[in-house]
Chains A and B, each alone.
Chain A
Amino acid sequence: MATDLLWTLIAFFLTILVLSYVLGDNALFRFVMMVFVGISAGYAAVLIYFQVLLPRLISPLLTLPTPEKTVYIIPAVLGILLLFKLSPRLSALGNPSMALLTGVGAAVAIGGAVTGTLFGQINGAISPFNLAGVQGGNWATQLLGGIVLLGGTICSLAYFHFGARTKDGENTGSQPVLIQILGRIGQVFIAITLGALFAGVLSAALAALIERLAFLINVIKPLVS
């Protein structure tokens, strides 16, 4: 019970100190931030050890029979090489490990971008045009909606076009009129999207603030009454 109260008080004061940033940057806020970075790093280190290294590397190397162990020797060696990154002189020894990390990471990103986003969004953009089985006048509404969204998507894509005209080999920085027009329309759609997202971010942040203030009230209430 006493420990619960202690933890609650810690949370209470931490909340107050962080919210003091509203009045400007101050020493207490900086102190809390540093403590926070330290604690989160400590917690992350523990979790990495217990949830990544122990079950995926150390335990198999210690428990598995030799033939199966060989599979884990490669990441073990690469992991050890990665430790050399701590030494400025020997850090080059860790490059192969970083290369593997980067290569696989890039492949995952490419796969996700092509099959997930690109194809997924193309499919999503054209799906409203599937009018089969749409009753009555709904098809007109759906078609109109589909056209607006498709047009908006195309214009937004066109806005990002990078190429520009050249004159006597000099970059004029200007684009063809068609792209300029499409880009202008695209800007409107992009601005609408960013505005909606901004409102969403504000809403989420406000919810967090409300929850914190409610917590402060809940801590103070019993003390007051």
Chain B
Amino acid sequence: MISLTGVLGLGVVFLTIALIIILRMLGKDREKPAFRRIAAFDDLKKSIGLAVENGSRIHVTLGKSSLTQPTNTSALAGLSTLDRIAQISSSSDKPPVATSGDGGLTLLSQDTLRSAYRNVHAPELYDPGRGRLTGITPMSYIAGTLHVTTHEDVSAHVMIGNFGPEIALVAEAAEHAGAFSLAASDSLPAQAALFAVAEKPIIGEELFAAPTYLGASRSHSASLQVQDILRWGVIVVLIGGALLKAMGML
């Protein structure tokens, strides 16, 4: 049977699709949309630039979320970020290494690296060994990633995806190694742990802005704009709903 929630959900989905398409089309004629400054992403750009110049490696870790879980969108955002980083650092002697804690995610990270290098006309840079599974269970994933952190001449760690708070161990190891670390997760406990440990923590929704801030495609900018529109829509609904509820009309 069709529920009201389902219909409303479908409405929200179609509204979002329409907004993304419209803003993307409008964006073609206008200049790039303006977004607030997020210092962590500026530092990430700099550290990528420095990694390229001093021939050290960038490590992108995508988390442990399975593609069959609702949390996989954080990993998808991580993959878009990996794509950008791989393209940007294609002039580096040491291409970036991507680690993950799920099989599907590992294969996607390899595909992402391959397509990124193809897009910058440097397919020879692709090495499947650079998209790795470091452990199949959450904690073994962390154990394997710790090894990458300390043994692969990494100067910048980008942690974007779904993690447990144990990711703090990786961030701490990165700090010991004197490397830059930017960490973003959709998991609240992980965010809390990373806020205290990581050098540049990214809070909540900002995770999904990473590709846009690294200069990804126009559709990424459009989806950020859509997020802003929906945000205020939700705020209006919250206020309206609260009033109606207080008046007993809902």
Contact = CB atoms under 8 A, between A and B. Distances in A.
Genuine A/B complex: yes
Interface of A: 25, 30, 33-34, 36-37, 40-41, 44-45, 82, 85, 88, 91, 94-95, 98, 101-102, 104-106, 108-116, 118-119, 122, 125-127, 129-132, 143, 146, 150, 153-154, 157-158, 160-166, 169, 171-175, 190, 193-198, 200-201, 204-205
B235 A157 contact: yes
Given A88-B128, A108-B68, A194-B191, A98 B12 contact: no
A115 B9 contact: yes
Contact of B193 (A88, A95, A98, A201): A201
B55 interface: no
The 8 A-B residue pairs with the shortest CB-CB distance in the complex, in nearest-first order? A197-B192, A112-B70, A105-B67, A171-B34, A173-B37, A40-B140, A129-B245, A126-B241
Contacts of A108: 68-70, 72
6 contacts: A25-B176, A98-B108, A105-B66, A106-B72, A130-B246, A201-B192
Contacts of A101: 67-68, 104
Contacts of B147: 30, 33-34
B136 interface: yes
Contact of B189 (A36, A116, A201): A201
Contact of B238 (A41, A44, A150): A150
A186 to B, nearest CB: 10
A165 B189 contact: no
Contact of B245 (A116, A130, A193): A130
Contacts of B227: 160, 162
Given A25-B150, A201-B165, A153 B238 contact: yes
A104 B68 contact: yes
B28 to A, nearest CB: 16
Interface stretch (B46-54, B84-92, B200-208): B200-208
Nearest to B140: A40
B140 A37 contact: yes
A160 B229 CA distance: 12
A85 B110 contact: yes
A33 B169 CA distance: 13
A171 B236 CA distance: 27
A40 B70 contact: no
A109 B191 CA distance: 20
Contact of A157 (B111, B114, B128, B231): B231
A109 B71 contact: yes
Given A98-B104, A129-B242, 13 more contacts: A88-B128, A91-B110, A106-B73, A108-B69, A109-B70, A115-B9, A125-B238, A126-B250, A157-B234, A160-B227, A162-B209, A163-B225, A171-B32
